[in-house]
Structure 1
Amino acid sequence: MSTLVLASPPTAAQAAAWDCPSGDLCIWTGTNGTGSRCAWSNADNDWRSGSIVCSWSSTQPYRSVWNRGTSSSYVAVWIYGGANYTGSYDCIAQGDRFGSSNGRARSHRWQASGCW
């Protein structure tokens, strides 16, 4: 006799893979846009106490990232390791996404200049 196991529906924090609102920067705990997600439409100088708190960012790296920005004024997002746009940073051009990152971050801002 076989047993049927039903999967639980995803929680709000576990959005469908690569689910990211147009205009936002999105990061995930899992690869390929899976796991818990944090999303912003504006710059944030501290992911732990800023306008949008990304609760898991203090204990976990982001594994996926997508810049779905749409502004013609900003062509990239710089993601910084420290609060207040300090420390080392990664840059992601508008429209780009990476499904296998391993970044520690705490702030980000949109940039008019591109990546390198």
Structure 2
Amino acid sequence: MHIRRKLIAMTMLMSTLVLASPPTAAQAAAWDCPSGSLCIWTGTYGTGSRCAWSNADNDWYGGSVACSWASSRPYRSVWNRGTSSSYFGVWIYGGANYTGSYDCIPQGDRHSASEGYARSHRWRTNACW
């Protein structure tokens, strides 16, 4: 019985050490988005492949910043990290040239439950809601 208590104590200590370990590179990189940018990711909580823009883009597939996976995978996380006081939100459109259905992300907001295919975006001066 004494050996069993030692094994349980050792197991508890090892569990504590695992929980106290530093974050992995993937965890540390989550939600990495340059200030002033719109960022989207393939994974939840800002993980996976990322595309980022500091300006509007009328075609994510071949515009100023081409997002290599946007035509074949939905974005699952989004962060409007815009900083200009001239804009309230960024509109993300389903079609090129700011057409189709859209979603609006207020400045500073980030969402992990998003899921959508998109193809263009632009910052707007009017509020999202």
Alignment-derived partner of residue 113 in structure 2: 100
Confirm whether residue 37 of structure 1 aligns to residue 50 of structure 2: yes
Alignment-derived partner of residue 80 in structure 1: 93
Report SS of the residue matched to 2:29: coil
TM-score, normalized by length of structure 1? Answer: 0.87
Match of 1:64 among 68, 71, 77: 77
Report runs of 4+ in structure 1 exceeding 6 Å deviation. Answer: none
Confirm whether residue 46 of structure 1 aligns to residue 75 of structure 2: no
Identity of aligned residues (%): 78
Query: How far off is 1:100 after superposition?
Result: 1.5
Q: Which has the larger radius of gyration?
A: 2
Report SS of the residue matched to 2:69: helix
Which 5+ residue runs of structure 1 have no aligned equivalent? 1-8
Deviations 1:57-116 (A, max 9, x none): 000000000000000111100000000000000000000000121111000000000102
Between structures 1 and 2, the one with greater helix share: 2
RMSD value over aligned CA atoms? 1.5
Report SS of the residue matched to 1:32: helix
Alignment-derived partner of residue 5 in structure 2: none
Which 5+ residue runs of structure 2 have no aligned equivalent? 1-24
Q: Distance in 1 between matches of 2:114 and 2:97?
A: 22
Q: Distance in 2 between matches of 1:61 and 1:101?
A: 9
Query: How far off is 1:38 after superposition?
Result: 0.2
